[in-house]
Amino acid sequence: MAFDCDLFVIGGGSGGVRAARIAAGHGARVQMAEEYRMGGTCVIRGCVPKKLMVFAAGHGAGIEEARKYGWDVAPARFDWRAFRARLDTELTRLEGIYTRNAEASGVVIHHQRAIMTDPHTVRLADGTEISARHVLIATGGRPVVPEGFDLPGVMTSNDLFLLDDLPSNMLIVGGGFIACEFAGLLQGLGVDVTQFYRGAQILRGFDDDLRHHVAAAMGIQGVDLQVDADLVSLEPLDGGHFATTDTRGARREFDAVLFATGRAPNTTGLGLEAAGVTLAPNGAVKVDAWSQTNVPSVYAVGDVTDRIQLTPVAIREGHAFADTVFGGQRVQADHAMVASAVFTRPEAGTVGLTEAEAREKGPVAVYRASFRPMQGAFVGSEVKAMMKLVVDPQTDRVLGCHIVAPAAGEMIQLAAVALKMGATKADFDRTVAVHPTMAEELVLMREPVADT
Ligand code: NDP
């Protein structure tokens, strides 16, 4: 059968665009549909605008610090509207780059929604039907608000970047990546932030020492972090404000409420049932290690598959798919030892096993340094950095590395190379320190901490 194209990609985010470009590079005739803006969550309402806001917040703290370093600085005020105008321009620039790069690779982009009607056919919002030898689902995810709280005016991370003005105070619900990053950056931009997390400590799944250090730093920066606290009721007030009651019985009022309570795969109404594609109970597209669904012509990559919800992982999955299906190579995306960073202030970087995960597998030796970094200590900051290595005492292999420090995201990328190569503690020890830095602690930790 002659198809209109070799590949139709639904979703113009990180994973979809990479797959489309690589497939086109292998000679495939590729078409793509994106219903909103090219670039997807990462570029338009995720990693990129978030990181720019982290930079903005960092400048505020930097101005205060500069004063203590001897600079005569006039009182500074953050102008959200000026920032947002520049942010909008930057995102439009990046969206243009995404679009141009895809088109320059030969990808035909339809700027409208597409759904599947059978294993080889998609239908665009304007009614056009396009047949494809292969279809790639790369529709990402969307923020979820817990049932009963999805009231008009309640925000998710999607809404934050579109605000005309910052609220003066805000409640953030959740204790994951997004909740912690937003709490830190918004507090840094002058918003009075309260954060509720329903469990005993934020960042569940991360190493316990990392969690503790991030939580302590957030408290020092002024975030009112309340753990073992959850919303019981939410009542809209005039002016878009909300009254809340929580599990501790307290009633409070907030100018704004933001839920960062996880993300769900974007599969609703996509026609996947019509195509016969099997979904997991949470709506994620089920795929094998080649990103192939139960329908041989249909593949899926990125957050919609709910494997590891990170942009670089989606990119690897998209690339591996295109090489496998169109490049004549059998390539699987490697999901082992994926490093990540939480852009709190200071940042947290992590790769490999947490201490708790390693202990489940056998004995471990833990090396940990906790200290006030030179730059902050000079101005009296109590915020502590933390470096930690989790080591297998039998093989000496470093199983995990966890860092809380300014620029921990940059550091963990390099530590990830070492761990991916199978570095031992002895390899770290024989590496000469770079002095004076924070990262030098990673190669200076001589004695394991005593078992507790
Ligand atoms: P996460 O899954 O990381 O965190 C969700 C948080 O919400 C958890 O603390 C969870 O608690 C809590 N929660 C879930 N449901 C409820 C509920 N009904 N009531 C109260 N609290 C609830 O999701 P995020 O939205 O923060 O981020 C989604 C994903 O996006 C991340 O997993 C990450 O992969 C990716 N991301 C990566 C970033 C980066 O690389 N820097 C930045 C931002 C996002 P509990 O722990 O108890 O389940």
Q: Could you read off the pLDDT of 74-92 as tens digits, one per residue?
A: 999 999 999 999 999 999 9
What confidence category does residue 172 fall into, taking pLDDT thresholds of 50, 70 and 90?
very high
**Domain CATH code at residue 310:** 3.50.50.60
Q: Taking 90 as the threshold, does the pLDDT of residue 451 lie above it?
A: no
Residue having the nearest C-alpha atom to atom 15 of ligand 1: 261
152 in any annotated domain: no
CATH number at residue 412: 3.30.390.30
Summarize pLDDT for 342-380 with one digit per residue, the tens: 999 999 999 999 999 999 999 999 999 999 999 999 999
Distance from Cα 447 to the centre of ligand 1, integer Å: 35
Residues 164 and 102 occupy one common structural domain:
no
Q: pLDDT digit string (tens) for 21-39? A: 999 999 999 999 999 999 9
Please give the C-alpha separations between residue 415 and each of 88, 152, 318, 387, 425, in angstroms, as whole numbers. 34, 44, 25, 11, 12
Could you identify the atom of ligand 1 that is nearest to the CA of residue 202?
9
pLDDT for 450 equals: 84
**CB-side exposure of 342: number of CA atoms within 13 Å?**
31
Pick the last residue of a domain from 281, 300, 326. Answer: 326
Q: Is residue 421 part of a domain?
A: yes
Q: Atom 22 in ligand 1: which residue has the minimum CA distance?
A: 261
Is the same domain home to 303 and 355?
no
177 Cα nearest atom in ligand 1: 26
The residue contributing the CA closest to ligand 1 atom 33 is: 309
- Would you say residue 331 lies in a domain? no
Assess whether 253 and 270 both reside in one domain: no
Q: Are residues 135 and 199 in the same domain?
A: no
Whether 91 and 187 map to the same domain: the answer is no
Alpha-carbon span 256 to 154, nearest angstrom: 7
Cα(368) to centroid(ligand 1), Å: 27
Domain span at residue 192 reads: 157-261
**Percent of all residues in the chain with a pLDDT value above 70, rounded to a whole number:** 100
Do 109 and 45 share a structural domain?
yes
Point out the residues that are catalytic: 435
> Does position 190 have pLDDT exceeding 80, yes or no?
yes
Evaluate if residue 293 carries a pLDDT over 70. yes
Q: What is the distance in A from the centroid of ligand 1 to the CA of 371? A: 28
| 125-151 mean pLDDT | 98
452 has a pLDDT exceeding 70: no
| Structure tokens, 150 | 């999805």
Same domain for 353 and 272 = no
What is the predicted pLDDT for the residue at 317? 98
Rounded distance, CA 436 to CA 377, Å? Answer: 14
On whether both 252 and 270 belong to a single domain, the answer is no
In a domain, 450, yes or no: no
Task: Give the span between the Cα atoms of 175 and 78, in whole angstroms.
Answer: 26
Q: Which residues pair with 244 in a beta bridge?
A: 234, 252
Last residue in a domain, options 261, 285, 315: 261
98 lies in a domain?
Answer: yes
pTM: 0.97
Average pLDDT across the chain, whole number: 97
Atom of ligand 1 nearest to the CA of 144: 25
310 Cα to the center of ligand 1, angstroms: 12
- The closest residue, in CA terms, to atom 38 on ligand 1 is 177
Give me the number of domains the chain comprises.
3
The partner residues of 31 in beta bridges, in order of sequence, read: 8, 108
- List pLDDT tens digits, range 104-117: 999 999 999 999 99
Report residue 250 as tokens: 């307290």
Residue 402 near residue 206, CB atoms below 8 Å = yes
**209 close to 402: Cβ distance less than 8 angstroms:** yes
- Please report whether residue 452 resides in a domain: no
Q: Is the pLDDT of residue 45 over 80?
A: yes
- CB burial of 30-55 (b: ≥16 within 10 Å; e: otherwise) equals bbbbbebbbbbbbbbbbbbbbebbbe
User: What are the angstrom distances between the C-alpha of 120 and each of 19, 56, 265?
Assistant: 18, 46, 22
| Residues 315-335 pLDDT 10s | 999 999 999 999 999 999 999
Candidate of 263, 343, 350 to mutate for ligand 1, largest count of ligand atoms within 8 Å of Cβ: 263
155 three-class SS:
strand
Based on the fold, state whether residues 292 and 170 are members of the same structural domain. no
| Confidence category of residue 396, pLDDT binned at 50, 70, 90 | very high
Q: Are 324 and 21 in contact (CB under 8 A)?
A: no
Ligand 1: atom nearest CA of 340 is 40
Q: Please, what's the b/e burial string for 176-197 (b: 16 or more CB within 10 A of its CB; e: otherwise)?
A: bbbbbbbbbbbbbbebebbbbb
Distance of CA 155 to the CA centre of its chain: 18
Q: How far, in Å, from the CA of 202 to the mean position of ligand 1? A: 10
Which residue's CA is the closest to the ligand 1 atom numbered 47? 199
- The pLDDT value given to residue 188: 97
- Judge if 268 and 119 occupy the same domain: yes
Gap from CA of 203 to ligand 1 centroid (Å): 8
Is the confidence at residue 138, as pLDDT, over 80? yes
Same domain assignment for residues 89 and 233: no
Q: Which of these three, 261, 280, 310, is where a domain ends?
A: 261
The predicted pLDDT at position 264 comes to 98
Do 276 and 219 belong together in one domain?
no
Q: Are 257 and 170 in contact (CB under 8 A)?
A: yes
Tell me if 317 sits within 8 A of 302, measured CB to CB.
Answer: yes
Task: Say what the pLDDT of residue 79 is.
Answer: 97
Q: Which of 145, 195, 198 to mutate to test the pocket of ligand 1 (most atoms within 8 A of CB)?
A: 198
CA 320 to CA 409: how far, in whole Å? 25
How many Cβ atoms from other residues are within 10 Å of residue 83's Cβ?
16
Q: Which atom of ligand 1 is nearest to the CA of 199?
A: 47
Query: Which residues surround ligand 1 with Cβ inside 6 Å?
Result: 146, 173-179, 181, 197-199, 204, 230, 260-263, 309-310, 340-343
Distance 64 CA to ligand 1 centre (A): 31
pLDDT of amino acid 1: 76
* Span 192-230, pLDDT tens digits: 999 999 999 999 999 999 999 999 999 999 999 999 999
Instruction: Specify if 240 maps to a domain.
Output: yes
Q: Is residue 373 part of a domain?
A: yes
**Atom of ligand 1 at shortest range from CA of 179:** 26
